[in-house]
């Protein structure tokens, strides 16, 4: 087997939500083992406090396991494109297709509340939608419902049944005349709704970043102006 080194420039972002997964799992497992041995060796019946400690260890193991199943990197910047990694798939956005990035907010000038995400505005829907996997689209639609719900309630306070506005149409026709259906059409309609409400098409939750929203937006602006200013050479091993 021959290994080649492929040199490329990139910058990786690790989600704050999936850090220390291995450590959490191992510490919780070790604590559970010690606790079970202590309970077995001590006289008398098991106490309520010991049951609660066992439950806490099991919860810690579960949290650690789910952290470990998340992708190693949540976002990867390359010279000409940005990749968003999720355990259900990945989407790509080229640098030339990104119009602007910012921090979405709701409210008026006197009371302006930022949302817990960074927003991206896309120039050409077709080039983005054509590489989006339906499985990932479905998951994002579910995960970001609360952000859309919050925006709807703030902008249209007279709406009584907000839930009825959260189900997107399953048909979509782009400005170029491309017709979409199913989950991709629903995602495209969600992009339209988000743009009308908060001015952005795509949302990146803050828990998928390793820095605050302002720093990440500044990073994107630097990448748009001069990608090489934020990228570092990385060697990827390719097996042949």
Query: For residue range 151-192, what is the model confidence (pLDDT) as tens digits?
Result: 777 666 545 555 656 778 899 999 999 999 999 999 999 999
Q: Of 24, 53, 69, at which residue does a domain stop? A: 69
* Domain-embedded: residue 189: yes
Most confident region among 83-87, 163-167, 230-234 by mean pLDDT: 83-87
Of 69-78, 110-119, 140-149, 197-206, give the range with the top mean pLDDT. 197-206
Instruction: Answer yes or no: is 115 within a domain.
Output: yes
pTM reported for the whole predicted model: 0.75
Q: Are residues 123 and 231 in the same domain?
A: yes
94 lies in the same domain as 200? yes
Are residues 124 and 213 located together in one domain of the fold? yes
**47 and 85 in a common domain:** no
Q: Which domain holds residue 235?
A: 75-239
- Do 55 and 155 belong together in one domain? no
Is 34 a member of any domain? yes
Are 97 and 51 in a shared domain?
Answer: no
Q: Regarding beta strands 105-107 and 112-114, do their DSSP bridges make them parallel or antiparallel, or are they unpaired?
A: antiparallel
**Domain final residue, candidates 69, 88, 103:** 69
Alpha-carbon span 60 to 50, nearest angstrom: 15
126, 210: one domain: yes
**Same domain? 126 vs 59:** no
Q: How many whole angstroms from its chain centre is CA 109?
A: 28
Same domain, 58 and 159: no
- Please name the residues in contact with 186: beta carbons below 8 A apart, sequence gap of 6 or more: 137, 141, 168, 169, 170, 172
DSSP 8-state code for residue 142: H
Report the C-alpha gap between 43 and 68 in whole angstroms.
Answer: 37
Determine the pLDDT at residue 87.
Answer: 86
Listed residues 69, 87, 106: the one ending a domain: 69
**pLDDT > 70? residue 125:** yes
Give the per-residue pLDDT at 6: 39
Question: Is residue 8 assigned to a domain?
Answer: no
How many structural domains is the chain composed of? Answer: 2
Shared domain for 79 and 187, answered yes or no, is yes
Which pLDDT value is given to residue 185?
96
pLDDT at residue 5, as a whole number: 35
CA 240 centroid distance within chain:
33
**CA distances (Å), 174 to each of 8, 132, 165, in order?**
34, 15, 21
Looking up tokens 């390793």 gives 210
Q: Is there a single domain that holds both residue 61 and residue 115?
A: no
Q: Does residue 115 share a domain with residue 95? A: yes
Query: Of the candidates 73, 57, 50, 70, which has an alpha carbon nearest to the alpha carbon of residue 24?
Result: 57
- Residue 3 CB neighbours (<10 A): 8
């Amino acid at each position: 087997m021959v290994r080649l080194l492929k040199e490329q420039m990139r910058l990786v972002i690790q989600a704050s939500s999936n850090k220390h997964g291995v450590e959490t799992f191992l510490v919780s497992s070790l604590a559970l083992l010690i606790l079970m041995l202590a309970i077995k060796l001590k006289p008398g019946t098991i106490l309520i406090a010991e049951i609660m400690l066992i439950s806490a260890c099991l919860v810690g193991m579960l949290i650690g396991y789910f952290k470990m199943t998340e992708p190693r990197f949540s976002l990867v910047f390359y010279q000409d494109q940005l990749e968003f990694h999720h355990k259900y798939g990945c989407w790509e956005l080229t640098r030339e297709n990104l119009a602007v990035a910012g921090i979405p907010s709701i409210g008026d000038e006197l009371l302006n509340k930022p949302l817990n995400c960074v927003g991206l505005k896309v120039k050409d829907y077709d080039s983005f939608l054509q590489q989006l996997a339906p499985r990932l689209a479905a998951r994002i639609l579910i995960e970001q419902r609360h952000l859309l719900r919050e925006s709807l309630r703030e902008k249209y306070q007279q709406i009584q049944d907000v839930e009825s506005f959260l189900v997107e149409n399953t048909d979509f026709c782009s400005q170029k005349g491309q017709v979409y259906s199913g989950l991709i059409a629903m995602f495209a309609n969600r992009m339209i709704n988000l743009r009308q409400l908060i001015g952005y098409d795509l949302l990146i939750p803050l828990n998928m970043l390793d820095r605050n929203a302002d720093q990440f937006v500044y990073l994107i602006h630097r990448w748009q102006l001069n990608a090489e200013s934020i990228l570092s050479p990385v060697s990827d091993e390719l097996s042949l």
